[in-house]
């Protein structure tokens, strides 16, 4: 291969820029040309492709977001759209594509690979919900942001002796909520992997107050329920002032923490080495601190991210 393309797709994540930098610097060092594609698969479809040089990624290691831009582009599910995209890659004489994103982005990469265009996926999302890797780029930065927010909410909820219900991102994965709840000392955790009954939660909170608790923090993964409604229900049942806070997109921004920068740099470098070794249709991961790669089709269709039940059980003992 002589020319590779790179794009970031789906929700942005801190560390995506560091991953692009890792790819660009490694590829240039190996004598390859690198082309950046703007705004994910949408820019690929619209042929918004430009050559990158080593200075394109200067001062990027510490920057949040993605300088290439990202987009959600459901039209990429259509074969005709992908064929236009492949045509654009060929027009630019690009031989292989690196896709940084979550599992929706992997889906596009899988389809392109099946249709004859080799792609390598790098997991970039704050949700930590991608198969074949222990951690995704952006997860640890988001974790730190969420914990900081919980610390702040703790100050005010303890001053006012209130219950605080906090909605955390993660799509359908509770990793961010669970880890943030442990680090933030939350009393109650509601995550999609564990069955949740409102009555049980309310009873547990009541018991906590009966034992002398003065305030409480409940961490809830998004999409589990309407946190404002839940807060009202808790307030009525426990007879204790309750406030809901939706952390929202704040969780996606900010300068990546060192671990994300290192992870992103390693994954970027590794992806290029894979392409140079002739691998296509792979996704990169970190497992037990080692770089690994898996068949992207296998990762999407057969591999599941294991839920860390032990961590959840530990959390329960800390309340």
- In angstroms, the CA 297 to CA 70 distance is 23
Q: Show contacts with ligand F6P in window 243-262 (CB under 6 A).
A: 252
CB 7 within 8 A of CB 33: no
Tokens 């459901």 belong to which residue? 74
Please, what is the minimum distance in Å from the beta carbon of residue 100 to ligand F6P? Answer: 13
Q: Does 134 bind ligand F6P (CB under 6 A)?
A: no
Which of 127, 134, 187, 233 is close enough to bind ligand F6P by CB under 6 A? 127
- In angstroms, the CA 167 to CA 177 distance is 8
Phi and psi dihedrals of 39, rounded to 5? 55, 40
Measured from the CB atom, the residue of 146 and 163 that comes closer to ligand F6P is 146
Binding mask 263-282 for ligand F6P (x = CB under 6 A): --------------------
Q: Does 126 bind ligand F6P (CB under 6 A)?
A: yes
Please, what is the minimum distance in Å from the beta carbon of residue 132 to ligand F6P? Answer: 17
Q: Is 250 within any annotated ligand binding site?
A: yes
Please, what is the minimum distance in Å from the beta carbon of residue 169 to ligand F6P? Answer: 3
Please, what is the minimum distance in Å from the beta carbon of residue 43 to ligand F6P? Answer: 17
Q: Does 177 bind ligand F6P (CB under 6 A)?
A: no
Question: Which whole-number Å values give the CA distances from 23 to 53, 193, 234, in the listed order?
Answer: 11, 34, 49
Catalytic residue among 127, 129, 134, 260: 127
Q: Is 107 within any annotated ligand binding site?
A: no
Q: Does 72 bind ligand F6P (CB under 6 A)?
A: yes
Tokens 């074949």 belong to which residue? 132
Q: Does 54 bind ligand F6P (CB under 6 A)?
A: no
Which residues face 131 on adjacent strands?
Answer: none
Q: Is 305 within any annotated ligand binding site?
A: no
Q: Is 42 within any annotated ligand binding site?
A: no
Neighbours of 2 (CB within 10 A): 10
Which residues face 50 on adjacent strands?
Answer: 36
| Token pair listed for 97 | 């594509």
Please, what is the minimum distance in Å from the beta carbon of residue 315 to ligand F6P? Answer: 20
Identify whether 127 is a catalytic site residue. yes
- In angstroms, the CA 319 to CA 189 distance is 10
Q: Does 14 bind ligand F6P (CB under 6 A)?
A: no
| H or E stretch at 41 | helix 40-45
CB 136 within 8 A of CB 129: yes
Q: What is the DSSP letter of 51?
A: E
- Count of residues engaged in binding ligand F6P, rule: CB under 6 A: 11
How far, rounded to the nearest angstrom, does the alpha carbon of residue 86 sit from its chain's CA centroid? Answer: 26
Which of 112, 169, 234, 315 is close enough to bind ligand F6P by CB under 6 A? 169
Measured from the CB atom, the residue of 171 and 266 that comes closer to ligand F6P is 171
Please, what is the minimum distance in Å from the beta carbon of residue 170 to ligand F6P? Answer: 5
Q: Is 48 within any annotated ligand binding site?
A: no
Measured from the CB atom, the residue of 85 and 169 that comes closer to ligand F6P is 169
Which of 22, 40, 102, 285 is close enough to bind ligand F6P by CB under 6 A? 102
Question: Which whole-number Å values give the CA distances from 250 to 47, 51, 175, 218, 292, in the listed order?
Answer: 31, 31, 17, 19, 31
CB 188 within 8 A of CB 205: yes
Residues that bind ligand F6P (CB under 6 A): 11, 72, 102, 125-127, 169-171, 222, 252
């Amino acid at each position: 291969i002589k020319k590779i393309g790179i794009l970031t797709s789906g929700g942005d994540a801190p560390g995506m820029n560091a991953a692009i930098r890792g790819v660009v610097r490694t590829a240039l060092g190996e004598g390859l040309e690198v082309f950046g594609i703007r705004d994910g698969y949408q820019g690929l479809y619209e042929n918004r492709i430009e050559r990158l040089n080593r200075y394109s990624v200067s001062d990027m290691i510490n920057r949040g977001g993605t300088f290439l831009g990202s987009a959600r582009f459901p039209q990429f599910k259509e074969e005709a759209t992908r064929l236009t995209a492949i045509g654009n890659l060929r027009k630019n004489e690009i031989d292989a594509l690196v896709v940084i994103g979550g599992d929706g982005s992997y889906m596009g990469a899988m389809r392109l690979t099946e249709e004859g265009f080799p792609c390598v996926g790098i997991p970039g999302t704050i949700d930590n919900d991608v198969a074949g890797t222990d951690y995704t780029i952006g997860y640890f930065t988001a974790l730190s942001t969420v914990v900081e927010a919980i610390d702040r909410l703790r100050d005010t909820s303890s001053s006012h002796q209130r219950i605080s219900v906090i909605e955390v991102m993660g799509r359908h994965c509770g990793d961010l909520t669970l880890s943030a709840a442990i680090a933030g000392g939350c009393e109650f955790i509601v995550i999609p992997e564990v069955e949740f009954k409102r009555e049980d939660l309310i009873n547990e909170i009541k018991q906590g107050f009966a034992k002398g608790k003065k305030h409480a923090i409940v961490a809830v993964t998004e999409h589990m329920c309407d946190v404002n409604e839940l807060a009202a229900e808790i307030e009525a049942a426990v007879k204790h002032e309750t406030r809901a806070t939706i952390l929202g997109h704040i969780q996606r921004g900010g300068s990546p923490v060192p671990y994300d920068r290192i992870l992103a740099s390693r994954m970027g470098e590794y992806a290029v080495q894979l392409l140079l070794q002739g691998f296509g249709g792979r996704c990169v991961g970190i497992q037990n601190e080692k770089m690994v790669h898996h068949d992207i089709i296998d990762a999407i269709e057969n591999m599941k991210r294991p839920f860390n039940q032990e961590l959840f059980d530990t959390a329960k003992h800390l309340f």
